[in-house]
Amino acid sequence: MSMNLRDPLVRRTTLSGRARRSVRLAIVFGFLCVAGATWCGAASATGTAVWRMKIDGPINPAVADFIGSTIEQAGDANAAMLVIELDTPGGLLNSTKTIVKDILAAPLPVAVYVAPAGAGATSAGVFITLSAHVAAMAPGTTIGAAHPVSGQGGDIEGDMRKKVENYAVSFVESIAGQRGRNVEWAEKAVRESVSVTAREAAELGVVDFVADDLTDLIEKADGRTVEVAGEKVKIDLSKARVEGAGAVVVDVEMSFRQKVLNVITDPNIAYLLMMAGMLGLYMEFSHPGAVFPGVVGTICLLLALLAAQVLPINLTGGLLILLG
C-alpha cells in the first residue's frame, strides 16, 4: 500500500525547519526556568564582610532555594554573618519548613531583620524570624498572624483544620524553644493570630531587639553568644567593620533561575501555565502530529506542577531534558 504524501495527516508529521526551531526554543526556555548555574555575584566576599539578602514577597520554592543556596555560599566564603531582610505576607508551609531547617543548620550566624518601616513578618514570616540566631525588627514593623489557611487563603474546614493547626503549633513551639524565645506568644500567633509591633515583640522576648537600621543591627548583634551548628559561638563582627566607614556589606541577589522560578510560582502565573498546558495538550490530541502545541503544552504543564510544588526542581529539569 503506497503512502499519499498529499494527505494532510501525513504532512503534519513532517515539521518545517521553522517549526523545529520553535520547538527547540520552547524546550530551551522551559529548561532555563528550572536549570542553570546559581550565581549571586558575591563569590569574592570573605570573613571580613556581612552578607545581606532581601526577601520582599510571599514565601515560595524560589525563595527557599535562594535562602538555602545563599546560606551555603556565605558559609563557604567564611562570611561574618548573613542578614535576611524580611518583609512577607506569608507563604507555603513546605517552603517555610525548608527555610527553617536551613537556618537552624546554618554554618554561620543568620540574622533575620524585619525591615524597612512598614514591613511585616506575617504567617510564614513568624516561623522564619523565630528560627534565626539573631531576630530583630525595625521601628514601625509588625510580626504575627501565623494561623494556617488554605492555598486559596480561606479557612481550612473539618478535621484537617485541627491537624494542620496542631502541627503548626508544635512546629513554632519547637523553633521558639530552641532559640529561647517566647513559646507562649508563638502558640498564640498560630492559634489566635495575634500580632504585635516591633517594640512589643522585643519586650515580650519574641525578637532580640529593635534596630533602627542595618548598622544598628550589626552593632547590637556583635558580641552576642548564639548556637551555630550545635556549638556556642560568640558573634565577632569586628573584622567586618572599617573604621570611619561602618561595616562591609555584600548584597546578594537572586540568580536568573531563581528569579524565573519566583515569577512562575505566583498563583496567577501558575494558573495561566496550567490553562496553557491543558490547551496545548488538547490541541495536540485534536490534531495528531502537530507536535508544537503538545511540546509547549507539556512544558507549561511541567512548570505549573513545579509552581504547585507537585514536582521538585531537579525532577522538572530532568523531564524537560528528556522532552528535548
Q: Are 290 and 284 in contact (CB under 8 A)?
A: yes
CB 64 within 8 A of CB 95: yes
With vertex at residue 35, the alpha carbon angle to CA 30 and CA 40, rounded to the nearest 5 degrees, is: 125
Question: If you write DSSP's letter for every residue of 5-72 in order, what string do you get?
Answer: TT-HHHHHTS--HHHHHHHHHHHHHHHHHH-S----S-TT--TT-EEEEEEES-B-HHHHHHHHHHHH
Residues identified as active-site? 123, 163
For 251, half-sphere exposure in the C-beta direction (CA atoms, 13 angstrom radius) is 5
Q: What is the DSSP string of 222-257?
A: TT-EEEETTEEEE---GGGEETTTEE-EEEE---HH
Report the length, in residues, of the chain: 324
Cα–Cα–Cα angle for 1, 16, 21, rounded to 5 degrees: 140
24 phi/psi in degrees, rounded to 5: -60, -40
- CA separation (Å) from 311 to 38, 153, 218, 302, 305? 20, 22, 39, 8, 6
Cis bond upstream, residue 267 (ω within 30):
no
Radius of gyration of the chain (CA): 24
In whole angstroms, what is the distance from residue 308 CA to residue 190 CA? 24
Terminal C-alpha separation, the chain:
33
In order of 109, 131, 221, the CA distances from 136 in angstroms are 13, 12, 9
Task: Cell numbers for 141, please give them.
Answer: 514593623
